[in-house]
Structure 1
């Protein structure tokens, strides 16, 4: 009787079989235009793609930078968990992306590829994100009108969560403090004072974290198993979050729907609130599928998701950098004091904080290095080494002749662009007032604002698909950081900036660091 095979022999046979299968598949598969695009970070041995994908999770920033330097102004590709990502750089190729029509390069489909929207934000929002039009128009127009409420909520939130006194330092966990503050402030603007309840704030902050962390898990889950995973494992955050939010939003939304059905936009005595609910109802008029409590609840949850991460990450990155570079504190305070004397706490005042705007923009441009993290449940959206993502819907040829086939995900190596000496002098050095000096030049006063996307500054995207909420996000970041500067002294325990946490091409501000505060006298 023949002896049974050892585990090592079985493993060797399995690997050999997979190699043979891969060779057969490659033999019978037609060549792809992707074959002409050089790959970076991919070992040459069999199944190198999967090893490369794991390497990209661990060292995405370094691999992206390697491709940027190795293939100047050309396309290269890196391996994600289940597909290729083609990265481009240089003004010519970036301009190709900007000008491409949606039927060739799609933002919506790229977002779905990364966030698995059907499972993370819901079917209705995936196929009908009607709040985008509201964010782009009504919300942006009303920032000034809501400024007083936003300012009051910032003061109240910091009093509750950073109760520092003038005679002693206290240490607070930065992420766990800034995130609920941002949630409170955003929701005060969106739906009013009554939604300050800590339990509701916890629902919105947890939902925002679950969308990104569960999307990361789903990205490495085979497509056939995703419906099962979202139903039976922790990836299924959507239904529980909706049920919890309905307890707080349901009665309010039903009342507003009833009043809107009865009076439309013209309430008696002009008592209709000027808030996100009214703006959503205006946009939903004539669309019955949008006008129900459940859909509106999910819409508000997803507006929170979009609002919380950008602002929280922006404030944390800037606060860590400012606390590690205290030489910027006094000039920033002097600017704020000068503006407050003439404009007070107002939207017009925020627009005149040129140095603060520059500091926030430089913080987003620079993004210090950090350590890799592998805990998906801690992943949040922050600055990234890759942006301006598009899904190729039809075979697309760039102006240099590079062709990318339909189904491919493409993006721009934005962090490398932001650190390119051809775009910025001393690009590898943090210079908080870099952009305010640029704005002092004749005719440059508007061009270098943080909200203005340009081919060499891509934090908020580019062209018609630039982030629609960036005006609110930047104003909110300015208000939060200005309040911190005028209310507290602050420092880091060891004076060193906490390392960011990287996974693949995404950088999150350190989630465990603490910042020390003392109220100014």
Structure 2
């Protein structure tokens, strides 16, 4: 009964407990207010001006959190328009966060006092069962070894398998229907990305296993939603609350199911290697992440299911988002269809599916980067947690235990990009020809003026694979299909805190191309 009341609301539970004991509610509330107020008064705070300050009697800062969730973009725009190079701070559901201007990105890019790992641990509270996969990206995990070394090093080896799986997946997901028909673009692209991602990370045995694919599509969202809900509760109660929260229960069950699916594959592979060792024959090798994890572990214990779930969490939805947005932007600018098809056809005719072929698709690269510029994954990137007190060169103070980030508003700054609010697919193709900007113009490049993949020490290590995956998918889509936006389709983006979210219900008209035409 107490757990049920706790889940309804902390204050409801407090009130009901007080009335049952015939003790005035003020006896509970007054000391609590004093304690919480003292914590706020004597806790170190950032010295940057706060854009959504706490009201005098608003202990939980409900008004400020609401401003952060639904008005962050306008708050940052107002501040940085007037103060281009001065940090600000905002209050959100993990406490105060210092927002630095893009001009300070290089100063903190490799600062060891600002930790992405600790920020993630605080955001998702990885000590709570169900969030274990979010903890796999810690600095000493074999997961980072696989991403930073194996995945990038083997890009040339996985290009052909990615292309093959994309062909098979598109026949299943998009069919060969040559008549115009409606599809939910995000739903279909999510299926596609999960499938081709799984080909590289789990191999032929599991990449078409629908039970596994369902987990990879859903586990991350369960975790994101559960984390958002839990942060509404005091930290001391979150572990207790999580046991009765549906999204947390689902996340825990998905981990158990993932272990059941991957476990037998690992066992069969290990047994085959043991047999080969006894018989003196060559052990079977697999070109997928299951094998890379086995090699990186060097015999030490690890959880293959959690490693795979972490990879799917950080990769599938982010790739889906950028691929969907690029398709929408091409549909809004149909004059790009033929130039893109001509480039893809020319490159593949000359070189086939190779890593170097994808590098040669420069217009396609420019188009994707431009879509990422106008609709990035986050309004502020390079999110970190201070593990020590930090004082920056301009005097900005970031207290230990508080968060920081860098605003992404340079993406729409007219002093950086000409006509910044207009989608221009040739923008970065032209920029390649400007002296000193060739390398910065590539999709995978990072810099203070384009934080689409972060920047510095913690820039997205999987961006090279993601870029190749997106290009392969788009090349197939361009050659095999036609798509267009129905008239009146709502394309609005809804900001939720730091994240711009595309309309999840966007419909597209789709059909198989008639090659005889």
TM-score range, shorter chain: 0.7 to 0.9
Tell me what 1:390 maps to: 384
Partner SS, residue 447 of structure 1:
helix
Partner SS, residue 445 of structure 2:
coil
Tell me what 1:186 maps to: 197
Tell me what 1:448 maps to: 441
Q: Does 1:518 align with 2:491?
A: no
**Which residue, out of 417, 424, 427, partners 2:417?**
424
Tell me what 1:374 maps to: none
Partner SS, residue 440 of structure 2:
coil
**Which residue, out of 23, 28, 36, partners 2:47?**
36
**Distance 1:460-1:14 versus aligned 2 partners, 3 A rule:** farther
Tell me what 2:19 maps to: none
Deviations 1:285-306 (A, max 9, x none): 042x22xxxx111211211112
Tell me what 2:100 maps to: 88
**Which residue, out of 170, 173, 177, partners 2:184?**
173
Q: Is the 8 A contact 1:191 1:276 kept in 2?
A: yes
Partner SS, residue 518 of structure 1:
strand
In 2, Cα distance between the equivalents of 1:50 and 1:239? 30
**Which residue, out of 150, 156, 169, partners 2:168?**
156
Residue 98 of structure 1: CA displacement?
Answer: 1.0
Tell me what 2:5 maps to: none
Q: Is the 8 A contact 2:137 2:143 kept in 1?
A: no
Q: Does 1:466 align with 2:469?
A: no
**Which residue, out of 265, 272, 279, partners 2:285?**
272
In 2, Cα distance between the equivalents of 1:476 and 1:326? 22
In 1, Cα distance between the equivalents of 2:263 and 2:34? 57
Tell me what 1:255 maps to: 268
Residue 87 of structure 1: CA displacement?
Answer: 0.3
Partner SS, residue 155 of structure 2:
coil
**Which residue, out of 323, 335, 360, partners 1:315?**
323
Tell me what 2:217 maps to: 205
In 2, Cα distance between the equivalents of 1:206 and 1:25? 37
In 1, Cα distance between the equivalents of 2:184 and 2:342? 28
In 2, Cα distance between the equivalents of 1:355 and 1:319? 14
Q: Is the 8 A contact 1:82 1:220 kept in 2?
A: no
Range with bigger deviation, 62-71 or 463-472: 62-71
Q: Does 1:108 align with 2:117?
A: yes
Deviations 1:441-492 (A, max 9, x none): 3454333111111111111111121111101001001111111111111001
Deviations 1:272-331 (A, max 9, x none): 1121111101110042x22xxxx1112112111122022111101111111122122122
Q: Does 1:406 align with 2:400?
A: yes
In 2, Cα distance between the equivalents of 1:341 and 1:443? 31
Deviations 1:330-388 (A, max 9, x none): 22112112212211222211111111111111111111xxxxxxxxxxxxxx7110110
Tell me what 2:428 maps to: 435
Partner SS, residue 269 of structure 2:
helix
Deviations 1:225-281 (A, max 9, x none): 2212322221233331122223322210112233456668x9934631121111101
**Distance 1:248-1:23 versus aligned 2 partners, 3 A rule:** closer
Q: Does 1:140 align with 2:133?
A: no
Tell me what 1:326 maps to: 334
Q: Does 1:478 align with 2:471?
A: yes
TM-score, length-normalised on structure 2? 0.87
Q: Is the 8 A contact 1:204 1:301 kept in 2?
A: yes
Tell me what 2:74 maps to: 62
Q: Is the 8 A contact 2:454 2:460 kept in 1?
A: yes
Partner SS, residue 515 of structure 1:
strand
**Distance 1:75-1:498 versus aligned 2 partners, 3 A rule:** same
In 2, Cα distance between the equivalents of 1:345 and 1:126? 31
Q: What aligned pairs does 1:330-369 form with structure 2 within 5 A after superposition?
A: 330-367=338-375
Partner SS, residue 425 of structure 2:
coil
**Distance 1:43-1:348 versus aligned 2 partners, 3 A rule:** same
In 2, Cα distance between the equivalents of 1:457 and 1:126? 24
TM-score, length-normalised on structure 1? 0.86
In 1, Cα distance between the equivalents of 2:308 and 2:319? 17
**Distance 1:201-1:324 versus aligned 2 partners, 3 A rule:** same
Q: Is the 8 A contact 2:272 2:283 kept in 1?
A: no
Range with bigger deviation, 214-223 or 484-493: 214-223
Q: Is the 8 A contact 2:203 2:287 kept in 1?
A: no
Cα RMSD, aligned residues only: 2.8
**Distance 1:142-1:36 versus aligned 2 partners, 3 A rule:** closer
Q: Is the 8 A contact 2:98 2:403 kept in 1?
A: yes
**Distance 1:206-1:445 versus aligned 2 partners, 3 A rule:** same
**Distance 1:221-1:259 versus aligned 2 partners, 3 A rule:** farther
Tell me what 1:285 maps to: 298
In 2, Cα distance between the equivalents of 1:457 and 1:401? 25
Residue 18 of structure 1: CA displacement?
Answer: 7.5
Q: Is the 8 A contact 2:389 2:397 kept in 1?
A: yes
**Distance 1:360-1:457 versus aligned 2 partners, 3 A rule:** same
**Distance 1:51-1:282 versus aligned 2 partners, 3 A rule:** same
Residue 82 of structure 1: CA displacement?
Answer: 4.2
Q: Is the 8 A contact 1:229 1:236 kept in 2?
A: no
